[in-house]
């Protein structure tokens, strides 16, 4: 198949084994995601050792599938983009080793990609012409930050969580309420048509700066239930879940909007697993539009972990000549590495 830039993306930072092929940075020729949710759900969270072992079993199959579905061969590839951090180190290494092997044997560029930034770039798959600057909220299971992406594609972190990530508190409270894993979608499902104002919960640091703190909100729910066990009843629990979801999202929306207004940017871009939440999407749009700010978000398949977003960011890095050395390492912690 003839194309200009055909980029294979690989993403194995957590518990999804994923590979995708993008043409020219935005045409998704394939996007394969094999989730390990079933393997981890009994533990209420991800078990790193299980995740990396499963990645080893799946990685070659998933890459082969991505190429096949895209109708391309290894030899058609211009470059390989791969997440090399932040994430679970054992998981990252599997994708990184696969990417290095492909690039080394074909003598094509290897492009290491920051997982958090790639979530933000998921917005450019379906909106490649969106003008910078933008303010982007990246909210997932491991991170919650507000970024300013400038005209020159450089970025600045405007605020981050001081403790739990938004997805992490949703997962923890879903586990506490015994309603399933991953917690975000479970809470969203149980909250549909329920009274989200039934219980008064705190909105931590709502008016204070652009950092987040969610652990106090989590503790508030746990204490409330400890005091009154009837909150766990079939009648009350969905209202409690809905009230909790609303508290988390109110904070995300308020701070992201405040960032957009204070930096005078015309566009807010949501990203990360939590941004597949319908209430977050609609509230962000509604609040932003009332201030003449546009709010965009990727299709749900590009919100949760996927390799299309990795190939997308790799494309922009390739255009800027930001190619990695073949000996790049994986790193586990959030950092400003691009
Ligand atoms: O981006 P992602 O797939 O992986 C990480 O990089 O962490 O995000 C996963 C997180 C989980 O915490 C999950 O509960 C949350 O995103 N999530 C949601 C929804 N779908 C996934 N949270 C709220 N509403 C959803 N619909
Ligand atoms: Zn992620």
Q: What residues does each domain of the chain span? A: 6-120+302-319, 130-300
Q: How far is the CA of 148 from the centre of ligand 1 (A)?
A: 22
- Asked whether 334 lines ligand 1 (CB < 6 A), one says no
Fold of the CATH domain 130-300: Nucleotidyltransferase; domain 5 (3.30.420)
Q: How high is the pLDDT of residue 181? A: 84
Q: How far is the CA of 109 from the centre of ligand 2 (A)?
A: 24
Q: How far is the CA of 24 from the centre of ligand 2 (A)?
A: 23
- Asked whether 183 lines ligand 1 (CB < 6 A), one says yes
Q: How high is the pLDDT of residue 1? A: 46
Write down the mean pLDDT value for the chain.
95
Q: How far is the CA of 182 from the centre of ligand 1 (A)?
A: 7
State the pTM of this model.
0.94
Q: How far is the CA of 271 from the centre of ligand 2 (A)?
A: 9
CA-closest residue to ligand 1 atom 23: 184
Strands 267-271 and 155-160, how do they pair? Answer: unpaired
Q: Is the pLDDT of residue 111 over 60?
A: yes
Q: How many CA atoms lie within 13 A of 104 on its CB side?
A: 10
For 284-316, write each residue's pLDDT tens digit.
999 999 999 999 999 999 999 999 999 999 999
Domains 6-120+302-319 and 130-300 agree in fold: yes
Rounded CA-CA distance 77/103 in Å is 9
- Asked whether 46 lines ligand 1 (CB < 6 A), one says no
Q: How far is the CA of 137 from the centre of ligand 2 (A)?
A: 13
Rounded CA-CA distance 52/135 in Å is 33
Torsion of CA 161, 162, 167, 172, to 10 degrees: -170
Residue 47's pLDDT band, with cuts at 50, 70 and 90, is confident
CA distances from 302 to 63, 218, 271, 272 (A): 18, 27, 8, 8
- Asked whether 272 lines ligand 1 (CB < 6 A), one says yes
For residue 168, give the ligand 1 atom closest to its CA. 12
For residue 305, give the ligand 1 atom closest to its CA. 3
Could you tell me which residues come within 8 angstroms of residue 97 by beta carbon, excluding any fewer than 6 positions away? none
- Asked whether 85 lines ligand 1 (CB < 6 A), one says no
CATH, domain range 6-120+302-319: 3.30.420.40
Q: Of the candidates 308, 299, 178, 203, which has an alpha carbon nearest to the alpha carbon of residue 258?
A: 203
Q: How high is the pLDDT of residue 294? A: 97
- Asked whether 141 lines ligand 1 (CB < 6 A), one says yes
**Mutation pick for ligand 1 pocket among 35, 241, 273 (CB with most ligand atoms within 8 Å):** 273
Residue 2's pLDDT band, with cuts at 50, 70 and 90, is very low
Q: How high is the pLDDT of residue 315? A: 98
Alpha helices in 16-82 (DSSP H): 37-40, 48-70
Residue 39's pLDDT band, with cuts at 50, 70 and 90, is confident
Q: How far is the CA of 183 from the centre of ligand 1 (A)?
A: 8
Rounded CA-CA distance 309/302 in Å is 7
DSSP 92-123: HHHHHHHHHHHHHHHT--EEEEEHHHHHHHTH
Q: How far is the CA of 119 from the centre of ligand 2 (A)?
A: 7
Residue 333's pLDDT band, with cuts at 50, 70 and 90, is confident
Q: How far from the centroid of its chain's Cα atoms is residue 112's Cα?
A: 17
Judged on CB neighbours under 10 Å (0-12, 13-18, 19+), 327 is exposed
- Asked whether 87 lines ligand 1 (CB < 6 A), one says no
Q: How far from the centroid of its chain's Cα atoms is residue 127's Cα?
A: 17
Q: Is the pLDDT of residue 88 over 80?
A: yes
From the CA of 180, which ligand is nearest? 1
For residue 276, give the ligand 1 atom closest to its CA. 26
- Asked whether 277 lines ligand 1 (CB < 6 A), one says yes
């Amino acid at each position: 198949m003839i194309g200009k830039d055909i980029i294979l993306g690989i993403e194995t930072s957590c518990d999804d084994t994923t590979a995708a092929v993008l043409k020219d940075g935005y045409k998704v020729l394939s996007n394969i995601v094999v989730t390990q949710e079933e393997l981890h759900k009994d533990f209420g969270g991800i078990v790193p050792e299980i995740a990396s072992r499963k990645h080893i079993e799946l990685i070659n199959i998933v890459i082969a599938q991505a190429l096949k579905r895209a109708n391309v061969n290894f030899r058609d590839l211009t470059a390989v983009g791969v997440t090399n951090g932040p994430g679970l180190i054992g998981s990252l290494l599997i994708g990184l080793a696969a990417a290095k092997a492909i690039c080394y044997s074909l003598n094509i560029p290897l492009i290491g990609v920051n997982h958090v930034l790639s979530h933000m770039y998921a917005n450019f798959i379906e909106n490649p012409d969106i003008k910078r600057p933008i303010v982007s909220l990246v909210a997932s299971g491991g991170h919650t930050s507000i970024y300013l992406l400038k005209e020159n594609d450089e970025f600045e972190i405007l605020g981050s969580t001081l403790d739990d990530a938004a997805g992490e508190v949703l997962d923890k409270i879903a586990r506490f309420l015994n309603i399933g894993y991953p917690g975000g979608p479970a809470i969203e499902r149980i909250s549909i048509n329920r009274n989200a104002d039934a219980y008064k919960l705190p909105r931590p640091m709502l008016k204070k700066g652009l950092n987040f703190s969610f652990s106090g909100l989590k503790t508030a729910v746990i204490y409330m239930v400890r005091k009154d066990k009837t909150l766990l009843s079939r009648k009350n629990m969905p209202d409690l879940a809905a009230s909790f979801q609303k508290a988390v999202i109110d904070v995300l929306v308020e701070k992201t909007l405040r960032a957009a207004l204070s930096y005078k940017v015309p566009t807010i871009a949501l990203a990360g697993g939590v941004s597949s939440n319908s209430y977050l999407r609609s509230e962000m749009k509604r609040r932003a539009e009332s201030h003449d700010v546009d709010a965009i978000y990727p299709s749900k398949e590009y919100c949760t972990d996927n390799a299309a977003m990795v190939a997308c960011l790799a494309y922009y890095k390739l255009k800027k000549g930001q190619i990695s050395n073949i000996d790049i390492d994986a790193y586990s912690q959030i950092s400003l590495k691009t």
